[in-house]
Structure 1
Amino acid sequence: MTTMPMFPLGSVLFPYMPLQLRVFEERYLVMLARVLDSPPAEFGIVLIERGQEVGGGERRFSIGTVARITQLEAPESYLGLVVQGERRIEVTEWMPEDPHPLATVRELPDLEWDDSLLPRREQAERLVRRTLSLASEFANQEWSPDVALSDNPTAAAWQLAAIAPVGPIDQIALLRSDSMAALLDNIIELTEAAGESLAW
């Protein structure tokens, strides 16, 4: 268990994935100043379940990901940064805000890769790329169907979870996966459902 500064967002951060943030709220500027002053420059990101990103008072999911700051820039009106998803965490208790959100968290176990899962991972990749291509016919997608994946099989599995064209609630289900096999099965199931909805 450890106490960690937290940044509730309207999006999900996955391990091995980058995320761009624009920070302008005073409480989060204070948080980043503290984080940058105490290496490693990390904080937790959780998805907002209900409410708004600005102003506080939102309800938050308990599952999240540690974000490590990799890039930082400071234009006049906001702080821009790029973070990298690291370890998964679960919030066990929300603490009084100081002035930003704080929580007691526990790290969730890393998902272990087994080479016997390679056919399932290849199936998931084909399905995700095909569904991204289909989805791109209806709207602009954040990820291209031919986006490159890592040579690291664990990283590639999480990257597939991140680029799959599913909504944030389904992304939370993927983030909660308790084994690599379950993660790949969940990617396949949720992406198939997304593809079926596009076909109607």
Structure 2
Amino acid sequence: MPILPMFPLGTALLPGDHLPLRVFEPRYQQLVDDCLAAPDGPRFGVVLIARGHEVGGGDVRYGVGTVARIVVDTELGGGHHRLECLAEERIRILRWLPDDPYPRAEVEPWPDTPSEGTDLSGLTGLFGKLYGLLDRLTENGVTPPRADDLPDEPGARLYALSRWVPMGEADRLALLSAPGPDERLAVLAEAISTAIDLAEWQLKES
């Protein structure tokens, strides 16, 4: 199985997400240097931390993650880096290796399970209601995503739509852990409904 350098973070990274990173801890400076020198490209895995902290080690990590590719590396001096990364495919962690000097793991790709044809049309009304409420809350003229700007494939489209929904890391992890588009659709619809309930409560309290 492929072995990837791993970067446990306090966020569940979804395929298609952009990930800015400021790297200052020595072990992750080494990770960046090794990734940039890797023959198959500057790639590493990202997993959500279940317990613990990003800095210092000793964290407990979830077993599903995402491959991130470094697309911009800005050296800041003193070994520090500012990175711009793009999340690619989803992975499962098969086995954690010793943190020597940084986390590493044996991983496998985790493609979506096949779908008979996921119907996303029900999300249109939910997004309309959510963004109507957000517009009243922010008074900034927020607009929902344009269909033309979204991927055609249902699984990727649901990941993209999730970036337009205010949600916590537990919901993002549930989206990432959904076996395929049908299950991901149910998770996203529930997250939008929760966001609607919260927005309605905030309007009543304002």
Q: What TM-score comes out, normalization by structure 1 length?
A: 0.85
In the alignment, what sits opposite 1:169? 170
- Structure 1: segments with no counterpart, 5+ residues: none
Change beyond 3 A, Cα 1:119–1:52: same
* Cα distance in 1 between the residues matched to 2:145 and 2:128: 12
In the alignment, what sits opposite 1:84? 86
Question: Post-superposition shift, 1:162?
Answer: 3.0
* Cα distance in 2 between the residues matched to 1:131 and 1:92: 42
In the alignment, what sits opposite 1:42? 43
Q: Which residues in structure 2 correspond to 1:1-200 (within 5 Å)?
A: 1-38=1-38, 39-76=40-77, 78-110=80-112, 117-123=119-125, 125-126=127-128, 129-130=131-132, 132-133=134-135, 136=138, 145-146=143-144, 150-154=149-153, 155-200=156-201
Structure 2 SS opposite 1:11: coil
Larger radius of gyration: 2
Cα displacement string for residues 75-122 of structure 1 (whole angstroms, at most 9, x for unaligned residues): 235201111111101112111012000011121113667765241453
* Cα distance in 2 between the residues matched to 1:135 and 1:6: 39
Change beyond 3 A, Cα 1:97–1:176: same
- Structure 2: segments with no counterpart, 5+ residues: 202-206
Q: CA RMSD in A?
A: 2.5
- How many residues of Structure 1 are paired with residues of Structure 2 in the alignment? 195
* Cα distance in 2 between the residues matched to 1:109 and 1:178: 8
Identity, in percent, stands at 34
